[in-house]
A and B are shown apart, each in its own frame.
Chain A
Amino acid sequence: KQEVTQIPAALSVPEGENLVLNCSFTDSAIYNLQWFRQDPGKGLTSLLLIQSSQREQTSGRLNASLDKSSGRSTLYIAASQPGDSATYLCAVRLSDRGSTLGRLYFGRGTQLTVWP
């Protein structure tokens, strides 16, 4: 069974700092990995999707890397802003089903607070 762990559980930083959020997973046979943002009481907004053959993806101030062999992914947020305050979730899909239908396994998330 796939276990996904995210560190730290919570992070509080002043505006402008560069941040690193960590995600680790136990089974390296993944199909892809996706980072989501969740605002309190809201849905999941996809931030970045990394296929198993890729090393990193970038979108604006966000950069996600993937090291499949070591079971790790990192989400890097540059020049953080108060609007970045949210919970960031990492989720992986295994490749063992040989299809695109596999479930996502989620971490508990990192709760980020960026203060002005």
Chain B
Amino acid sequence: EPEVTQTPSHQVTQMGQEVILRCVPISNHLYFYWYRQILGQKVEFLVSFYNNEISEKSEIFDDQFSVERPDGSNFTLKIRSTKLEDSAMYFCASIARRTNYGYTFGSGTRLTVV
């Protein structure tokens, strides 16, 4: 079964530092997403990405966040200056027509900002 791969699985960073979370979506999937889940809270949408540009973003996705598909396989989420409240589990996902546009999620990156 194809998988969405995320690295690292856990990252600890100092407040104010930049972090890059990496994802390798399923090959031939064309639509990519980032979601996050603060401990004990709902899973929340951050951003969707298609055809090398952002197609939708939530109110959470402010100027501190950016996404990129640098090489046609990786899909990254950058947080420029991390805050304590950015501590969460970050999930990457992708979808494709052949799976009826059902989401496939990665196993997540747990980000801890100290």
Q: Total interface residues on A, using CB and 8 Å?
A: 24
Main secondary structure of the interface of A (DSSP, over half): strand
Q: Does A44 sit within 8 A of B, measured CB to CB? A: yes
B107 x A106 contact (CB < 8 A) = no
A91 near B: Cβ within 8 Å? yes
Q: Which residues of B contact A106 (CB under 8 A)?
A: 42-44
What residue in chain A is nearest B40 (Cβ atoms)? A108
Q: Which of B11-19, B48-56, B64-72 lines the interface with chain A?
A: B48-56
Measured between C-beta atoms, what is the minimum distance from A43 to chain B in Å? 4
State whether A104 touches B45 (Cβ < 8 A): yes
Digitize B70-114: 1 where CB-to-A-CB distance is under 8 Å, 0 elsewhere. Answer: 000000000000000000010100010101111111111010000
Shortest beta-carbon distance from B93 to chain A in Å: 8
